[in-house]
Amino acid sequence: MQIRVERIASAASYPLRHAVLRPHLGIEAVLWEGDDEPDTATFGAVDRGSGEIIGVATVFPEAAPFGPEVAGLGARRGVEPATWRLRGMATREDLRGQGVGSRVLGAVVDHVASRGGLLVWCNARVGAIAFYERAGFSTYGEEWVLPSVGPHVVMWRRVEEKGAR
């Protein structure tokens, strides 16, 4: 399968978000405040053959639930605006393990870097911890349960400045 990863409208991610992340709830459970804010970016992996969106993720500026020293950023001023939250990461179930999610996450990290971001964090489902670890994320804190969704843990990774790679 050939895919392209591109920025998409938030609403285009809702069907996959719903099917993968909250199928037992109504579609409104995946329409999140901030989806249409100017600084929010949603990316989709699109099957070149069918045009179907098979992987999605959204990212937006939001302070992490821990201090910058956790990520080795010290008490630097200006860290908070450079901290981005990843949310709504989903890959069609039958296509997991084929690099779709990694490509979408790569586009997210590149976007954050291009905006001067220093850190990306998320509330990861426990079942996705290994995926995020392979992408350079670390866990923070203890596991907790998001009601009606399941066990999660906070994860984060630093972002290299664009051009520093």
pLDDT for residue 66: 85
By DSSP bridging, strand 119-125 and strand 138-146 are unpaired
Domain that holds residue 143: 3-158
List the single range of 90-94, 120-124, 144-148 with lowest mean pLDDT: 144-148
Residue 165 falls within a domain, yes or no? Answer: no
C-alpha 8: how far from its chain's center? Answer: 14
Residue 163 falls within a domain, yes or no? Answer: no
pLDDT at 165 exceeding the cut of 50: no
For the chain, what is the domain count? 1
d(CA 152, CA 87): 13
Using one digit for the tens of pLDDT, what is the confidence trace for 28-65?
A: 999 989 999 999 999 999 999 999 999 999 999 998 98
Q: What is the rounded average pLDDT for all residues in the chain? A: 90
Q: How confident is the model at residue 6 (pLDDT cuts 50, 70, 90)?
A: very high
C-alpha 98: how far from its chain's center? Answer: 17
Residue 164 falls within a domain, yes or no? Answer: no
Using one digit for the tens of pLDDT, what is the confidence trace for 63-108?
A: 898 877 777 776 655 555 689 999 999 999 999 989 999 999 999 9
CATH number of the domain where residue 46 is located: 3.40.630.30
pLDDT for residue 74: 65
pLDDT for residue 70: 75
Candidates 45, 152, 43; CA nearest to 99 is 45
